[in-house]
Structure 1
């Protein structure tokens, strides 16, 4: 099928309406009976494929790159010892199959929301990598469509399952070190406009479909690396047209933990501020109701500064300070064991905690998602949590892109009128913080 860009986008937007709606209540009772289709066969999906093959029946793969989709199809068929897995170029053909229960999405960010919405309308349960959306409007539409469809959606915010982050969030939620005064978080900066040079088109790549709902730019291999690759491409992540820079990459993970710790899975910040001196460096802030600030600053992935202590966590690192004394820490091998320090913190300070966050079981995020489908429960990062964490990223990016404060109403899911008021924008930074 030959599609120009305009017709392709039109068809993508309406495809869900033409697909049959399947009964959500008719989910399988046995996990091994679930039939899965995977969309976006890059490096992240390689690991998802491994997880699904161990637990379910993977029957379809989809990618706009012929080499990638056929390599994964062959790997899946070799695993099962058959030729049942089918490779697709157009994800809508995969969604049209009424024998597929679950879809996993690991495309570049600009495709996430379109495929999620079409999958929800087709009655599929959905695992989608973070950030769940490419902009704020998409986040609102995704929440609406997934809730309307009644399907299970898990966002790929895997840090919620890591013990150091869960315990850090539980310490905050249970007020173990008193009120949170400020929060710092270290992640890369905002995206930037696509400026890569044009290269010769790769054979077997459907470039029109790769661009999809984004701008139809010229081809560069940093956006879609040639053939099968074993790394995470940064070219599309750094381009605002297809990703959201480091803020929507690692920032999506860390801001999600902060949302969890502040019990904001159904809310979020009311303001985003660019760095005081301008530019794209450290210093941008998200501000919550009451004035609590989250500052992008070099250091730990999440750093909660509280009345009576400090809680800091990064992947493989943990530090807990109370009343001026370091109680438990693991920052380097000489500190012993990360697991030991975190478990001791949990035993000593959270044994009788009122708030207990979900504990990730063996099998990780994928297992949690499949358990939710089979048992009819909520996954660790359901649609609203994932969408609102994405909104945090988009708000901070907007403050960078426009170099001005952005005011947001998390209850109404709308920008505040003040964000467009020239008189308000002319005020001092002190006025911004008081507004």
Structure 2
């Protein structure tokens, strides 16, 4: 794959520059005056769905951020986002566009935030990075393994900052759980259980009347042409997280890449496998219909199981660590040392109290201290200024996405695949075409 990256990027750049727009005029008094002009981070936002609604609100809170443009292929969503930005700044200056390249190629913009469906993540990120932008991109970072490898290479060559939106890395319960594991508190790790839903299936949704104001061809982008269905792109402003595209292989990877990108990310953080990964994929016996049961095997013999469980659970020779959002549990020698899992049952304590006590008892003189980010967005903005790698840098986000894609390959093809996580190549048991996709039209990676 690495041998094709250069030619792939050249093809991409040829298409990425085709939609270059004139620079935006950014009035001098359209944002908070707290930040000096050379400290302001001018941003554009691409993919104005449910997830981006929360992200946009968060970024608007920072006085050193100036949002100047929003992009969506749905007229209603992009105009709603523009109105939100204009209301925040008390003007009508935010530009609303249909073509993401009007943002990614604009020299007045410093950074972009991307929260489109997964099949667009890499293409938009590559356009932004090759045009000098820093990027905040939602997880999973890419739609397939080839895109992950290409994106890491491109970000590094262009010296850009890319933060993956794996926000669990900025929550203390996950960091402390991983520090307990990394410092040997529960002994030698044997297995890790990760809990999330199943893989995606080929899209079979029926045709519906096209949503007025939606550029359906552009929504599809690199994916195959198929009829519109509102489960893929809901009508109007998104009130819920659309599941139709997430469960369709053409656009997403099911819950394996959606929630799996969160919990497998934490598993690899705890195992010390960032920018590394598994060496083997083991599909379940009933892989054609299975929703759980796949395994990833690491070079040290640790087995990651896809199960119905507690979120992310590490099992060692001396104990167990379980962690999920707002939940934490440490078991040593068969006895519970700390637990906050159910607020109705675990009364008289709190999540922060439980993990803080364990941090004081077991990690006061820890040899391994992990990146301590209090907030994923704040960390991204700080790294734009410092030029240091963020808590979920592109290499980390890519390796977590690759692990998810490998697990899905087991479900899709039933292959017991041997993998080289450093070269990102199949060693045996698989077909290289599984690592990429057929790209439609002008959209190439």
Provide the TM-score with structure 1 as the length reference: 0.89
Alignment equivalent of 1:43, drawn from 50, 53, 66:
50
Tell me, what secondary structure is at the counterpart of 1:127? Answer: strand
How big is the shift at 1:282?
1.8
User: 1:330 aligns to what?
Assistant: 340
User: 1:282 aligns to what?
Assistant: 292
Residues 1:369 and 2:380 aligned together: yes
User: 2:398 aligns to what?
Assistant: 387
Q: Distance in 2 between matches of 1:104 and 1:155?
A: 10
Q: Name the Cα RMSD after superposition.
A: 1.9
Tell me, what secondary structure is at the counterpart of 1:236? Answer: coil
Question: Deviations for 1:206-235, whole angstroms, at most 9, x for unmatched residues?
Answer: 000000011111000000000102210000
Tell me, what secondary structure is at the counterpart of 2:423? Answer: coil
How big is the shift at 1:14?
2.6
User: 2:389 aligns to what?
Assistant: 378
Alignment equivalent of 2:190, drawn from 178, 181, 206:
181
Tell me, what secondary structure is at the counterpart of 1:395? Answer: helix
Q: Distance in 2 between matches of 1:221 and 1:409?
A: 40
8 A contact 2:246–2:258 mirrored in 1: yes
Question: Deviations for 1:127-165, whole angstroms, at most 9, x for unmatched residues?
Answer: 000000000100110011111111100000001111111
How big is the shift at 1:332?
1.4
Q: Distance in 2 between matches of 1:30 and 1:409?
A: 46
Q: 1:76 to 1:420 in 2, by over 3 A?
A: closer
Tell me, what secondary structure is at the counterpart of 1:182? Answer: strand
8 A contact 1:16–1:122 mirrored in 2: no
Question: Deviations for 1:108-142, whole angstroms, at most 9, x for unmatched residues?
Answer: 00000000111110000000000000001001100
Q: Distance in 2 between matches of 1:182 and 1:419?
A: 25
Question: Deviations for 1:181-223, whole angstroms, at most 9, x for unmatched residues?
Answer: 1111111010001011100000000000000011111000000
Q: Distance in 2 between matches of 1:234 and 1:356?
A: 37
Q: Please, which runs of 5 or more residues in structure 1 have no aligned partner? A: 1-9, 21-27, 422-435
How big is the shift at 1:29?
8.2
8 A contact 2:311–2:323 mirrored in 1: yes
Which deviates further from its counterpart, 213-222 or 402-411? Answer: 402-411
Alignment equivalent of 1:144, drawn from 146, 153, 157:
153
User: 1:304 aligns to what?
Assistant: 314
Q: Distance in 1 between matches of 2:105 and 2:146?
A: 26
Q: Distance in 2 between matches of 1:256 and 1:112?
A: 18
Q: Distance in 1 between matches of 2:273 and 2:315?
A: 18
Alignment equivalent of 1:52, drawn from 50, 59, 62:
59
Q: Distance in 2 between matches of 1:68 and 1:306?
A: 48
* Equivalent residue pairs, number: 403
8 A contact 2:186–2:320 mirrored in 1: yes
- Listed as ranges, the matches of 1:398-409 within 5 Å are 398-409=409-420
Q: Distance in 2 between matches of 1:247 and 1:288?
A: 18
8 A contact 2:264–2:404 mirrored in 1: yes
How big is the shift at 1:248?
0.5
- Listed as ranges, the matches of 1:175-324 within 5 Å are 175-278=184-287, 279-324=289-334
User: 1:4 aligns to what?
Assistant: none
Q: Distance in 2 between matches of 1:388 and 1:40?
A: 24
Q: 1:83 to 1:131 in 2, by over 3 A?
A: same
Q: 1:312 to 1:31 in 2, by over 3 A?
A: farther
- Listed as ranges, the matches of 1:86-105 within 5 Å are 86-105=95-114
Tell me, what secondary structure is at the counterpart of 2:407? Answer: helix
Question: Deviations for 1:312-331, whole angstroms, at most 9, x for unmatched residues?
Answer: 11112111011221100011
How big is the shift at 1:276?
3.3
8 A contact 2:280–2:296 mirrored in 1: yes
Q: Distance in 2 between matches of 1:118 and 1:420?
A: 28
Q: Distance in 1 between matches of 2:115 and 2:431?
A: 35
How big is the shift at 1:388?
0.6
Tell me, what secondary structure is at the counterpart of 2:245? Answer: helix
Alignment equivalent of 1:357, drawn from 370, 384, 405:
370
Q: Distance in 2 between matches of 1:324 and 1:31?
A: 56
8 A contact 1:318–1:330 mirrored in 2: yes
Which deviates further from its counterpart, 198-207 or 165-174? Answer: 165-174
8 A contact 1:180–1:305 mirrored in 2: yes
Q: 1:392 to 1:31 in 2, by over 3 A?
A: farther
Q: Distance in 1 between matches of 2:341 and 2:197?
A: 21
Q: Which one has the bigger helix percentage?
A: 1
User: 2:359 aligns to what?
Assistant: 346
Q: Which consecutive aligned stretches of 4+ in structure 1 deviate over 4 angstroms post-superposition?
A: 10-13, 17-20, 28-32
Q: Distance in 1 between matches of 2:16 and 2:180?
A: 43
User: 1:427 aligns to what?
Assistant: none
Q: 1:151 to 1:287 in 2, by over 3 A?
A: same
How big is the shift at 1:51?
1.5
How big is the shift at 1:105?
0.3
Q: Distance in 2 between matches of 1:374 and 1:29?
A: 13
Provide the TM-score with structure 2 as the length reference: 0.87
